[in-house]
Amino acid sequence: MKTSMDKRFMFVRLGYSYRIGEFEGVIGLDRLENREFIMGTRKDNAAYLTANLQDVQEYLQLPQYPEYVDHSFMMYPLVIKESAPFTRREITQHLERNNIETRPMMPLLNQPLYKKLFGDLEADYPVAHRINRCGFYVGCHHGLRRAQLDKIIDSIHGFLKKSLQICRHGIWNS
């Protein structure tokens, strides 16, 4: 099966693991005690990214959710709009070259296990198809500092500036 997805994020067989050891239990209890800090910092990081990426919304869809929903922001999702003159691969390669980890969005129905069980259903789900082609994540976790968030923002702006200049000068070949 050909995919650009990192194998660490692919499910190839069905399985369950309900075991939790003492060490994992201690870590879990610590995280529960720090839940407000962790969740608050992630939300602050997401708000900072959103505020500083407002000017790129012509090309990138930023995350939106209703006020009554509580988002954990394990990662910060971005979806390339159809009007963008670049691909997910191009922007994520740029970010990765700048030491910014990215992860592609991959709807569950695109996981190898689900394709094996149910066949290739992507054509029946146009939103999943678009997300599979155009969606990716950047970091947003509570360990990121302002300088790291600024690096993400600056790298996205730098990529768009370069890409749009290339596109305007007719050099673009997509």
pLDDT tens, position by position, 20-38: 888 888 888 888 888 999 9
Across 2-11, 66-75, 103-112, 121-130, least confident range:
2-11
5, pLDDT greater than 70: no
What is the mean predicted confidence (pLDDT) over 126-148?
A: 94
What is the pLDDT at residue 161? 93
Are the C-beta atoms of residues 151 and 98 closer than 8 Å to each other?
yes
CB atoms within 10 A of CB 116: 13
| pLDDT for 44 beyond 70 | yes
Q: Is the pLDDT of residue 170 over 70?
A: no
In percent, the amount of the chain with pLDDT more than 70 equals 88
| DSSP reduced 3-state for 138 | strand
What does the block give as tokens for 57? 């919304």
Nearest of 27, 40, 26, 45 to residue 153 by alpha carbon = 45
- Three-state SS string across 51-63, please? HHCHHHCCCEECC
Note the pLDDT of residue 174.
40
- Give dist(CA 168, CA 63) in Å, integer: 28
What string of DSSP letters covers 67-116?
TT-----SEEEEEE-TT-SS-HHHHHHHHHHTT--EEE---GGGSHHHHH
pLDDT value of position 3: 47
Residues 6+ apart with CB under 8 A from 10: 3, 106, 111, 112
pLDDT over 70 at 4, yes or no: no
- The enclosing H or E element of 164 equals helix 146-168
- Structural contact between residues 79 and 126, judged by C-beta atoms closer than 8 angstroms: no
111 confidence band (pLDDT: 50, 70, 90): confident
